C-alpha cells in the first residue's frame, strides 16, 4: 500500500504548477468557508442571546392562547406563586412573573397608548436586561407602590421626568374600567428604538390591583444559563404543570413555550440567512469540484500510454482507479490542511479585532446585534467547510477514475 501512496504522491508533482493551482483553489475556498461559517455561527448565537436577554427570556409559561391573541383574560392564575415554585424546582433565581395590559397613559401635556408590564421587582432584573439600562432615577421598589419606569423615547414623547405623575386608563381582566396614577421613578435607555418608545414597567402588585387581576399574571418568564438547557427545562416545567391541569379548569390551560415559539421570527431570520449562505457555499464547492475534475481528467488523459503499459503488464483497472483516487485524496488533504490552518489564523485574528462593513450598523440595530461582529472559532466552523470541499473533490475524481475501466491496453499504448 505504501508504495502506491508513494507513487500517487510522486505523480502529483509531475505537474507542480497544475497541482498547486488546484490546491490553491481548494485552499481559497476553504479559507472562505472557515471564515464565513465562523462568522455565521458567532452572529447567530449573539443574535439569539441579545434578543432573548432584552425581555423575552428562554421560556415562558402562558395561557395557551395568550401568545396568539394577547387578551386580557387569558391569564396565568397564581403567577407569582408559580414563579416561586419554578425557581425552586429549576434551582435558578432567574424566574419572574409578569402581567401585561394596554392603557392610555397621560401626563400633564401628552397622552399615548402604551403596553404596561407588571413585574416582580425583585426578580425582573434577573430575566431581563432592561432594568439594568437605567439612564435616570432608579428601578422599581417592591410591592404595591404606584411607581413606573419608562423608556427614554416614551418619556420624551410624554414630556415627563422622574418625579412626574402618569395617569392610566384601560380595562381590567373582567372588562371593567381600570384607572390608576403612578409616579415616574426611572427612565431606561437601551438604544433600541422599539424598546425605548414602548417600554413601561410597574410593580406586579400594583398592576394586579389596578387591572383587577387578583393573583393572576400573563406570563412566567425564565432565563436559563445557556441555550442548550432550554429543552430540558421546558420538559421539566411541562411536567410540573401537568398536575395543575387536574386541579382546576384554569390551571389546565397553561402551556410552556420555548424561545422559538415566543420569537418565531428569530429562528426564521436565521433559517433564511442560512439558506442564502448555503447557496453561496454550494456554488463555491461546486466550482472547486469542477476545477479538480478538470485537473484529474487531464492527468488521466495525458497518461493514457503509461496506463496502457501498466494494464498490459497485468495491473487491474481497479488498482489504477485507486491510484487516481489516492492522488486526489492527497491533493484534497493538502488543500484541507492548508485551508484549515490559514482559515483558522485569519478567523482567529478577526475574532480578536472584529469586523464591520457598510450598512452593518443599520442592520445591527434591526437585529439586536452589536456593530462589530466577532467570528467564533470552533471545531465545527473550522472543519465543516473544508471537509465538504474534500468530499466534493473526491467525488469529482470519480469520472476520470471510471474512464480507466474503459481503457483497452493495446489502443492505449498507441495513443499519443
Partner 1 sequence: MRLTLAALAGLAWRNLWRNHRRTLIMLLAIAVGVWAMIFMGALMRGMTDEMVRNGLRTLPGEVQIHHRDYRRDPSVVNSMAPPAPALLRELGRAPVAAWAGRVRVPAVIASERENRGVTLLGVDPAAEQALGALPEAVEGRFLRDGDDRGLVIGAALARRLETGLGKRVVIMSQDPQNEVAERGARVVGIYRARLEETEERFVYAGRAALQQMLAIGDGLSEIAVTADDYRRVDEWYPRIAAAAGEGLEVLPWTALDPFLASMLAVQDGFSLVFMVVVFLALSFGLVNTLAMAVFERVREIGLMQALGMRPALILGQTLVESFYLLCLGLLAGNLLAVLSILPLEDGIDISGVAQGMAMMGMGNTLYPALSGRDMAMSTVVVVVLGLLASLLPAWRAARLDPVRALNTT
Residues of this chain that interact with partner 1 (CB under 8 A) are 15, 17-18, 21-22, 24-25, 28-29, 32, 69-72, 102-104, 106, 108-115, 156-157, 159, 169-171, 175, 264-272, 275-276, 279-280, 283-284, 286-288, 290-291, 293-295, 297-298, 301-302, 357-359, 361-363, 365-367
| C-alpha to C-alpha distance for 151 and 160, rounded to whole angstroms | 11
Shortest distance (Å) from residue 270 CB to partner 1: 7
Q: How far is the CB of 122 from partner 1 (least distance, A)?
A: 28
Q: Smaller CB distance to partner 1: residue 86 or 284?
A: 284
C-alpha to C-alpha distance for 147 and 180, rounded to whole angstroms: 11
Grid cell, residue 385, equals 467547510
* Cα→Cα distances 208→71, 100, 174, 204, 254, Å: 15, 10, 12, 6, 19
CB of 55 to partner 1, least distance (A): 16
Shortest distance (Å) from residue 296 CB to partner 1? 10
Closest contact distance (angstroms) between CB of 375 and partner 1 is 17
Close Cβ partners of 321 (under 8 Å, ≥ 6 residues apart): 401, 402, 404, 405
**Nearest CB to partner 1, comparing residues 3 and 177:** 177
Q: Please state, in angstroms and as integers, the Cα–Cα distance from residue 216 to each residue in 22, 54, 203, 245, 394, following that order.
A: 67, 23, 13, 16, 63
- Half-sphere exposure of residue 412, counting CA atoms within 13 Å on the CB side? 22
Q: Indicate the residue among 359 and 379 with the shorter CB distance to partner 1.
A: 359
Nearer to partner 1, 269 or 341 (CB): 269
Nearer to partner 1, 142 or 302 (CB): 302
| Residue number with CB closer to partner 1 (5 or 367) | 367
Residue 197: how many other CB atoms lie within 10 Å = 17
| Smallest distance from partner 1 to CB 315, Å | 24
- The set of long-range contacts for 131-138, using a CB threshold of 8 Å and a minimum separation of 24, is 131/188, 131/201, 133/188, 133/189, 133/190, 134/186, 134/187, 134/188, 134/189, 135/187, 135/188, 135/189, 136/161, 136/162, 136/186, 136/187, 137/162, 137/184, 137/185, 137/186, 137/187, 138/185, 138/186
Smallest gap, in angstroms, from Cβ of residue 363 to partner 1?
8
Q: For partner 1, give the closer residue by CB, 11 or 94.
A: 11
Amino acid at each position: 500500500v505504501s508504495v502506491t501512496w508513494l507513487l500517487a504522491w510522486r505523480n502529483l508533482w509531475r505537474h507542480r504548477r497544475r497541482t498547486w493551482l488546484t490546491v490553491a483553489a481548494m485552499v481559497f475556498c476553504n479559507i472562505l468557508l472557515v471564515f464565513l461559517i465562523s462568522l455565521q455561527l458567532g452572529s447567530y448565537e449573539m443574535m439569539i442571546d441579545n434578543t432573548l436577554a432584552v425581555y423575552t427570556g428562554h421560556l415562558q409559561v402562558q395561557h395557551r392562547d395568550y401568545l396568539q391573541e394577547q387578551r386580557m383574560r387569558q391569564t396565568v392564575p397564581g403567577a407569582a406563586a408559580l414563579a416561586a415554585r419554578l425557581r425552586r424546582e429549576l434551582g435558578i433565581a432567574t424566574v419572574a412573573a409578569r402581567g401585561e395590559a394596554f392603557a392610555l397613559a397621560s401626563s400633564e401635556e401628552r397622552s399615548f397608548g402604551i403596553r404596561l408590564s407588571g413585574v416582580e421587582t425583585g426578580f425582573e432584573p434577573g430575566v431581563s436586561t432592561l432594568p439594568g439600562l437605567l439612564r435616570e432615577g432608579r428601578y422599581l421598589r417592591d410591592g404595591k407602590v404606584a411607581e413606573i419606569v419608562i423608556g427614554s423615547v416614551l418619556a420624551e414623547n410624554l414630556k415627563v421626568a422622574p418625579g412626574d405623575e402618569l395617569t392610566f386608563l384601560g380595562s381590567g381582566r373582567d372588562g371593567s374600567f381600570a384607572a390608576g396614577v403612578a409616579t415616574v421613578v426611572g427612565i431606561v435607555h437601551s438604544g433600541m428604538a422599539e424598546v425605548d418608545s414602548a417600554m413601561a414597567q410597574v410593580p406586579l402588585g400594583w398592576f394586579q390591583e389596578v387591572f383587577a387581576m387578583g393573583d393572576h399574571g400573563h406570563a412566567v418568564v425564565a432565563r436559563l444559563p445557556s441555550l442548550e438547557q432550554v429543552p430540558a427545562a421546558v420538559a421539566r416545567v411541562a411536567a410540573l404543570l401537568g398536575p395543575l391541569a387536574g386541579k382546576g379548569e384554569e390551571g389546565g390551560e397553561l402551556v410552556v413555550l420555548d424561545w422559538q415559539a415566543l420569537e418565531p421570527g428569530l429562528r426564521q431570520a436565521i433559517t433564511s440567512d442560512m439558506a442564502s449562505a448555503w447557496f453561496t457555499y454550494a456554488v463555491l464547492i461546486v466550482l472547486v469540484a469542477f476545477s479538480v475534475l478538470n485537473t484529474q481528467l487531464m492527468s488521466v488523459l495525458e497518461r493514457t500510454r503509461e496506463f496502457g503499459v501498466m494494464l498490459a503488464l497485468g495491473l487491474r483497472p481497479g488498482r489504477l482507479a485507486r491510484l487516481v483516487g489516492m492522488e486526489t485524496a492527497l491533493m484534497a488533504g493538502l488543500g484541507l490542511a492548508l485551508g484549515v490552518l490559514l482559515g483558522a489564523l485569519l478567523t482567529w485574528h478577526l475574532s480578536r479585532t472584529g469586523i464591520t462593513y457598510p450598512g452593518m450598523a443599520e442592520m445591527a440595530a434591526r437585529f439586536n446585534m452589536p456593530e462589530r461582529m466577532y467570528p467564533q472559532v470552533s471545531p465545527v466552523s473550522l472543519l465543516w467547510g473544508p471537509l465538504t470541499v474534500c468530499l466534493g473533490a473526491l467525488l469529482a475524481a470519480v469520472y476520470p477514475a471510471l474512464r480507466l475501466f474503459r481503457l483497452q491496453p493495446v489502443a492505449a499504448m498507441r495513443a499519443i
